[in-house]
Structure 1
């Protein structure tokens, strides 16, 4: 009897990034498909993840038994108990044991992903974005296209990125093995640095993980139905609400390679609230039957390869907003009619850049003691009679 400590659960998920262009527009559905109209073109990146380890175990063992064609060989898998009962001769038993040991070793690989989301309020000299060449000079350099072109990716094999960015994303990538605090200190020279969030999440190899730093904003719609009975009109209103996520969502899928590096699918999505539409158009107050948000969404889907402890830098998320600041003389500036003589309104455009740092750390696999009689050292698989 073999023991496999794994959840009896099936995990699945998908992410889709679709970019449309042309006059026809494009329409997407919940499954991630998109249909483009006449004269329109679209490019789509779709990633689907489905993990059912126990189904893979059953299929793998069935294939082993079938290949050996051993008379009387039998495999019974109990997912709830986490046990695998194998009835077979010595040759097949050794092959089953080797297969399960390799599987157990793979499922024990874990990675701790440290995320740091930073907003840099750029000063007047850097309103077009962070000067990453200056940051690299102070922090010890980057690989990737933060400071160079796409060809720079090929010159630094530790970072391998492939993906697609949406309209107005201007995502830029880089990787550094230097201390992150040095990078943050270098950013201070270009504006005020504010750490938005510093979450950490542990994930098993090949299992999806999600980091969400956002708020849910609710909008309402009103469905009006009119019924006429006996010459009288009766209106029935149904109010529906829908929530939208405003903020940063990181969809991650890490895989720990045999050489210790981490291959990670990264899907960052940054959603900002840009305004609100009302129906009927121009309605105010009680006249509004429905409202819908105007959202600015910037997202990317890519795959990167990082060394253990190396930091991925995702930059280029620049936000600009108009600010009005009123300077006035106390009391006099609030006087009616003449108050305008004692106050001044300044119009300013503020720029900020959102920077995301992701650092994977490989966790040492748990040492599981036990095994057949006479065996020495820790084993990743328990075996009993």
Structure 2
């Protein structure tokens, strides 16, 4: 196995070039043509001079639009449940307490698509009009709070950022290849390392709305190691429990998206012994004991998006079309 870590990666949205081509096509004259080369990132347009000026203005605006970014602050938390909250956090009480600290409500997020894995406990999502400090304070009042990760990242509009917080579990896979030869059968073995992340993986794709809100497509995946298994040739593989969901929620700047509801159980062995007597060789075990404690935890993810700059491609297209319509009937020369 390896050490715990948090990483962030991004992937490019492939629909951008289609949007650009569609926008330019709407601005062309009947004699105009456009060719989009994705490989070289070039747009070739042939048209009358006045139309070319409008299209150039459109492409300059799109270039600025592509650079729009969304700053996402995240907190990945583990709350050890105790006492009256051992069956889960009381989100109703959290809402009321957070309101006293400046929050208005914890409303249900608008979930357009959601799929739960067949596992005990499911994800819940909501949007709170508050900040991290107020929520952390209230969560801490219902259990023992542990911050697993606190990443902050900026990702381009419509691009996916992936946050990994956990441990990379390494195992080895052996492949046996038998090939016929003149002297019989030759056997060769190749050993390949494999890696699986044990912990939390968050895929987040932000989309900036015309009203300044941010639609977040969130794909949380929680992976736990339940044990190990051996193959017929002796390789050891981890037994993995994976729980994931796919959800979309809309939030304004200053709000916090709250994902919770994922319950986990951890079994902890507690060793105790009588001082001095428990260390005696041979009979020390008579003065020692081991007890197993079951701790219930709930995983909580907090996300706060902030829009940085820019406008949507289709908004720019509409603006340029409006300008074009105002000049209809005029000579383009």
Query: Where on the TM-score scale, by shorter chain, does this alignment land: which range?
Result: 0.7 to 0.9
Partner SS for 1:165: coil
Matches within 5 A, 1:1-385: 50-53=14-17, 56-58=19-21, 60-62=23-25, 64-65=27-28, 68-70=29-31, 73=32, 87-90=47-50, 92-93=51-52, 95-97=54-56, 99-100=58-59, 103-104=62-63, 106-140=65-99, 142-144=105-107, 153=108, 159-162=109-112, 163-168=114-119, 169-225=121-177, 235-280=187-232, 289-365=234-310
Higher RCO, 1 vs 2 (CA within 8 Å, ≥6 residues apart): 2
The CA deviation at 1:104 is 4.0
Distance 1:173 1:142 in 2: 13
Unaligned runs of 5+ in 2: 1-10, 312-333
CA separation of 1:129 and 1:217: change in aligned 2, threshold 3 A: same
Distance 1:306 1:129 in 2: 25
Secondary structure of residue in 2 paired with 1:166: coil
Aligned residues: 294
Change (3 A) 1:178 1:61: closer
Shift of 1:241: 2.3
Counterpart contact for 1:310–1:359, Cα < 8 Å: yes
Gaps of 5+ in 1: 1-10, 13-48, 145-152, 154-158, 281-287, 367-385
Residues 1:303 and 1:77: Cα distance change in structure 2 (over 3 Å): closer
Where 2:245 maps in the other structure, the secondary structure is strand
State the distance in 1 between where 2:207 and 2:175 align: 47
TM-score, normalised relative to structure 1: 0.68
What does the per-residue CA deviation read over 1:236-283, in whole Å, with 9 as the maximum and x for residues that have no partner? 322222211212111111111111000111101111111111023xxx
CA contact (8 A) 1:74 1:88 kept: no
1:207 to 1:230, Cα distance in 2 relative to 1, 3 A: closer
**1:286-333 deviation per Cα after TM superposition (whole angstroms, max 9, x unaligned):** xx6212211111111011100112110100121102222111122311
Shift of 1:187: 1.4
CA gap of 1:185–1:167, structure 2 versus 1, over 3 A, is same
CA distance in 2, matches of 1:230, 1:105: 68
TM-superposed CA distance for 1:85, in Å, is 6.5
In the TM superposition, residue 86 of structure 1 has moved relative to its aligned partner by 5.7
Superposed displacement of residue 339, structure 1 = 2.4
Deviation at 1:204, TM superposition (A): 1.8
Q: Aligned-pair RMSD on alpha carbons?
A: 2.9
CA deviation map 1:333-362 (0-9, x unaligned): 132453244223222111111110010011
SS at 1:167 equivalent: coil
Structure 1 residue 127 displacement after superposition: 1.8
- How far apart, in 2, do the equivalents of 1:227 and 1:100 lie? 59
Shift in CA distance, 225/57, structure 1 to aligned 2, threshold 3 Å: closer
Of 99-108 and 214-223, the range deviating more from structure 2? 99-108
Structure 1 residues 342 and 203, CA gap change in structure 2 (3 angstroms): same
Shift of 1:193: 0.9
2:131/2:254 contact within 8 Å kept? no
Secondary structure of the 1:164 match is coil
Deviations 1:136-157 (A, max 9, x none): 221116434xxxxxxxx4xxxx
Q: Check conservation: 2:131, 2:255, Cα contact below 8 A.
A: no
- Please give the TM-score of this superposition, normalised by the length of structure 2: 0.77
Q: C-alpha separation between the residues in 1 aligned to 2:169 and 2:288?
A: 36
Separation (CA, whole Å) in 1 of partners of 2:183 and 2:87:
65
Shift of 1:64: 3.5
- Distance in 2 of aligned mates of 1:323 and 1:197: 22
